[in-house]
Structure 1
Amino acid sequence: MRNHDIPALDRMTRGRSRFDDDEPRLLKRARHTEPPPADPDTEPDPDTGERWSSWDDAVHGPQPYPSWLVTELAAKDTELGVLKTGKEADVHLVRRAVPDTDRSCLLAVKRYRDADHRLFHRDAGYLEGRRVRRSRENRAMAGRTAFGREMIAGQWAAAEFAALARLWEIGAGHDRIAVPYPVQLRGTELMLEFVGDAESGEAAPRLAQLRPDPVELRDLWAQMVEALRVLARAGYAHGDLSPYNLLVHRGRLVVIDLPQVVDVVANPQGPEFLARDVRVVGAWFVARGMPPEQVDPGTLTGELLREAGIR
């Protein structure tokens, strides 16, 4: 994150009236163009819905690879449906399997929207402290040309992949944070570990869907605080943290949706993003029954800024 910056725009668009998991309003109708010719190696079979695994020509997640992950080039990917729709991207469920074997795994595949259908209306503040090297690309992104929007989409996918890879490696040690394993990055398509029931294909519930009892609530808050500490020590603020982008799987809090991850030090608004993350999740826990004196946003924010080396 800190090695490749993107220029700040004039101001950050404040407020939001809809959650990121809501259906987007399209910016404009898609241009009518002839579809590109089908590539037999990447297009799904019209009868089976299968296509060859894209593992071979993608950027891979951190090693060692998890034992459940199918990396064989003979594997095929089968689309199983949509898990989530959002303003910037849709998430699909895909099964990757080696034919005639018992080797298979479920993947959550995040596909950022094309330039005509994407709605990056809140990105200016998130992009502060990042910069690409070519002035033409900087101008295109600042001007929101079609090419510039495509550049921004690639930056979102790359930023999320890099943050997940780093946090996965941190979580594999002694620090307590859970994120989906980042399987691969290919253009604006990000493949992730599916967090949920592998047998039924049912995704783990979001924190917002749960009504935990007092014991569960205290445990989840302790996990939340530790995850925030790990993020801060890594120099990150989630940037858009809410009960809607936290999953709970087998009692474990899992942090998801990190394309807008913010470098707390390099981004001038980093402390503000971090404070907002704390306020939003803290308010949810208090509303569910946590004593307000145990959820002090000001005190916790100060602690996290010290962890990030700012205070």
Structure 2
Amino acid sequence: MRQHDYEDSDFDDDSDFHDRLARLQRRARSDRAPAPARRGRLTEDERARLALLREDAYTETALPDGADRWTTWGEAEQGPLPRPDWVITELGAVDTDLGVLKTGKEADVHLLRRNLPGTDGVLLAAKRYRSDEHKLFHRDAGYLEGRRMRRSRENRAMAGRTTFGRNLIAEQWAAAEFAALSRLWAFGAPVPYPVQRNGTEVLIEFLGDGDGAAAPRLAQLRPEPGELTELWHQAVAALELLAGEGVAHGDLSAYNLLVHEGRLMVIDLPQVVDVVANPRGLEFLARDVRNLAGWFHARGLSEQVTAIDELLAELTKAAGLG
């Protein structure tokens, strides 16, 4: 800076000048930092997530193995114990986004590799809930019955679908799915292991092969008669396990069941319904059964095998409502 540039300035001494310069430098760094993923007032989880991204943005050293971020394990809500051996818990691990596996109305699912530098690591499914792109979640009115937050301000924001309210709803769906997966996995239901939840992102066991090809959905398959019958029995066993815990999937169909290594696996569980607490619980349970049975009927399975009315009576009893 030239002498005459600051001779007539408002700075009385060098300390004022250096304070002003420091503020300008901080502002410049802030302009280069990652922007919030959502407009409006941020939730606490989103604020913490953004702070970590900005911290990484100020780090000039490149991440190992061309990764996108350091592991978020240390900041996340972690999966149930005992954890599978393949779960990477070391804080020196890195995460690399390998692309989109599925897009949906409320969330996108990405393929993620988590590894210690120099190792192959493991593949995970990263389900990331969105909010700003949608005025409301198309399913939330009935499913969120009984899931009200404690603070009236937050309830009003959610009911009014403000930007802040939609951010809260997105986090609530992520938290609900992680809690449901943790609960169901703990008692042996056929669901993928929930690794962690960090804000609106849920990391889940990837069901597929080592090359990143996801296991097929039941809807994509055309099973032979013997395999069709076996898959139906697996579906009934899953329904019985859920009902025994007092819950229903809430949106069960051939599109949210995967067939992984010959085993039927239940996915997409943010809307899991407590059949006792939710006034429409039995309605959701019955719809799950009828939707699924309809797909099996269309593929040639006899209605005598599915025996819907008998199955519903057994599930209602298992849930403690019969």
Residue 274 of structure 1 aligns to a residue whose secondary structure is: helix
Partner of 1:58: 76
Tell me the amino acid that sits aligned with residue 133 of structure 1. Answer: R
Q: Kindly indicate whether residue 287 of structure 2 is the aligned counterpart of residue 269 of structure 1.
A: no
TM-score (norm 2): 0.80
* Superposition misfits of 4+ residues, deviation over 3 angstroms: 40-47, 116-119
CA contact (8 A) 1:221 1:285 kept: yes
Amino acid across the alignment from 2:125: A
Which amino acid in the other structure matches residue 116 of structure 1? Answer: E
Distance 2:299 2:55 in 1: 51
Query: How far does residue 273 in structure 1 lie from its aligned partner after superposition?
Result: 0.5
Distance 2:167 2:308 in 1: 37
State the 1:49 CA deviation.
Answer: 4.2
Shift of 1:263: 0.7
Match of 1:192 among 198, 204, 212: 204
The superposition leaves residues 262-311 of structure 1 with CA deviations (integer Å, 9 ceiling, x where unpaired) of 11000000000010000000000111111111112222112111110111
Distance 1:64 1:42, change over 3 A: farther
Asked whether the equivalents of residues 136 and 161 of structure 2 are also in contact (C-alpha less than 8 Å), the reply is: no
Letter in 2 for 1:159: A
CA distance in 2, matches of 1:226, 1:31: 44
- The reply to whether residue 182 of structure 1 matches residue 194 of structure 2 is yes
Counterpart position of 1:7? none
- Distance in 2, matches of 1:105 and 1:63, equals 19
| Contact 2:100 2:108 survives alignment (8 Å) | yes
Structure 1, unmatched stretches of 5+, are: 1-29, 172-176
Alignment match, 2:185: 168
Partner of 2:95: 77
Q: What amino acid maps onto 1:137 in structure 2?
A: E
- Please state how far the C-alpha of 1:41 moved relative to its aligned partner: 3.2
Which residue is 2:159 aligned to?
142
Instruction: Kindly indicate whether structure 1 or structure 2 has the higher relative contact order, using CA contacts under 8 Å at least 6 residues apart.
Output: 1
Cα offset, 1:119, TM superposition = 4.3
Residue 96 (str. 1) matches residue 111 (str. 2): no
The letter of the residue matching 1:76 is: V
Gaps spanning 5+ residues in structure 2: where? Answer: 1-37, 41-49
RMSD: 2.1
- What's the TM-score, normalizing by structure 1? 0.83
SS of 1:301 mapped into structure 2: helix
Tell me the residue number matched to 2:171: 154
CA distance in 1, matches of 2:214, 2:256: 13
SS in 2 for 1:111: strand
What is residue 128 of structure 1 aligned with on the other side?
145
Larger Rg belongs to: 2
- Structure 2 distance, partners of 1:51, 1:234, is 38
Partner of 1:109: 126
Deviation, 1:42, is 7.7
Cα distance in structure 2, aligned partners of 1:41 and 1:300: 53
Contact 2:192-2:206 at 8 Å conserved across structures:
yes
- Per the TM alignment, residue 129 of structure 1 is displaced from its structure 2 partner at its CA by 2.1
